[in-house]
Amino acid sequence: MSSARDFPSKQLPIEGMADLTSSAYVGSVFDLTEEKVEQLKRVKPKLLGIRCRRTECGQGLHCFDAVKPRPKFERGKCQECGVDLVKWHEVWLRDTRDVDKKFAFFEREWIRHFFFHVPTTPRIRKYAHKHGLEGLGRILQDQLRNKKMLNYIPALDSTQTKMLDGTIVHWARHAVGCCCRRCMTYWHNVPFDHELTDEDIDYFKELVVKFISKRIPDLGTGPS
């Protein structure tokens, strides 16, 4: 079975983006090393090609964001090729007992897949071990209780969560779709006019902690 690294990038040029032949452009997450992640962390994500609505459909990496006035395809389908790969009733169900199944759905989207596989660096691991799983969970809760996340603010949405220059908590938020209210809307069925509740935040905490445990398996609950 072929993996994403076996295919060349077919991403089309976008105005304002770096040329696809640029050494800074990320063709595949599997091209990155720990050292490369640290070298690129200060470069604007759009210049690296790291963006929420990127697709590589030939590699099985899509974008299901239909949150716009006139989506190309109906809600739930890839907005580039129209394929329907996600069992949304299972994703929207707030049950983490079979979290690996949910993670498999997340990984079908380019941006989620990227953060499931981007190499963790010493900086990322050091921060994680400093706080432990319990501390990282509290950090996530604090981030989601910020007014920029509690309510949908169009002018600020999609800017709340750092990418390569962030921490493992930021990476986790991108991976499980709680990085902004837009992603929460289509991945978790959270309406724009809904203020996040403690129940919402606790559920996202569960997803984030399970993701971090997957990416950094030797991480304990407390600081190390």
Q: What is the pLDDT of residues 10-65, one digit of tens each?
A: 333 333 344 555 668 999 999 999 999 999 999 999 999 999 999 999 999 999 99
Residue 210 contacts residue 203 (beta carbons within 8 Å): no
Say which DSSP state 56 is in.
B
Q: Give the angle 183-189-192 at the CA atoms, nearest 5°.
A: 70
Question: What was the pLDDT predicted at 69?
Answer: 87
Global pTM?
A: 0.90
Locus of tokens 């770096």: 18
Distance between CA atoms of residues 181 and 183, nearest Å: 5
Q: How far is CA 33 from CA 26, 29, 116, 128, 157, in A?
A: 11, 9, 14, 19, 30
21-35, 137-151, 167-181, range with the lowest pLDDT:
21-35
Let me know how long the chain is. 224
Tokens in use for 9?
């990038």
Say which DSSP state 53 is in.
T
Tokens in use for 76?
């739930």
H or E stretch covering 35 = helix 34-40
Question: What was the pLDDT predicted at 19?
Answer: 53
Distance between CA atoms of residues 179 and 194, nearest Å: 16
Q: What is the pLDDT of residues 65-78, one digit of tens each?
A: 999 889 999 999 99
Question: What was the pLDDT predicted at 23?
Answer: 63
Q: Which residues contact 109 (CB under 8 A, 6 or more apart)?
A: 61, 62, 63, 64
